[in-house]
Amino acid sequence: MAGKTQKQYPAIKGLTWHRDQYYSFYTPLDWHRFYWADDRQGEIHGPDPDDPLTVFAVDVKDLGTQVTADDLDVLAEGFFESIEQLPESHIEFRDQKTAGSQLKLETKYTFREQGETRKCWVRVFYHGTRQIAMTAQGATPEKYDYWLPWFFEAMMTAQVHSTKPQFESR
């Protein structure tokens, strides 16, 4: 292993459970919480308050209509086409599936914004009448890769539901 450098990942102090009526997930305890400037429903979490482009964000929209499995192909087509319209976009991964009454779209991609390459991982859930978009974004691909273990934790612990989960007392 001489000459190989081991990849460095960020240390954290622990995890905290974020719970909302429509979603829940875990993020590092020491990440900062922000809210959308335009008062949309959801929240934003990031490791550095001075870097608003390296974040894990949740955006909830009530679509006003029930979404069903029959809608998946049309939703996926619009979703992936919108990403392809971003400047210098490159989709690395894309997926669409249904699980019961829940629909999910997922993609990992890069694009150019303000002269920089950004890297994103987006999972969009459709549950009832709601669209719940969860986005992990690095201001650069290097920042995305550095924070990926904690983006992964937030994404893979994410749950979508209709009522706010409660702590179990024992």
Residue 154 lies in a domain: yes
- The amino acid that residue 99 corresponds to is A
Please name the amino acid found at residue 90: H
Distance CA 127, CA 58 (A): 14
DSSP 3-state assignment of 30?
coil
Residue 65 lies in a domain: yes
Domain count, the chain: 1
In a domain, 6, yes or no: no
Q: Which residues lie across from 34 on neighbouring strands?
A: 44
pLDDT value for 137: 98
Q: For the chain, 170 residues long, give each residue's pLDDT as a single digit of tens.
A: 556 667 777 888 899 999 999 999 999 999 999 988 898 999 999 999 999 999 999 999 999 999 999 999 999 999 999 999 999 999 999 999 998 889 999 999 999 999 999 999 999 999 999 999 999 999 999 999 999 999 999 999 999 998 887 777 66
Domain that holds residue 72: 50-159
The verdict on pTM exceeding 0.85 is yes
In a domain, 42, yes or no: no
Establish if 29 belongs to a structural domain: no
Give the DSSP per-residue string, 62-100. Answer: E-SS---GGGHHHHHHHHHHHHHTSTT-EEEEEEEEEET
Give pLDDT tens digits for 39-60.
Answer: 899 999 999 999 999 999 999 9
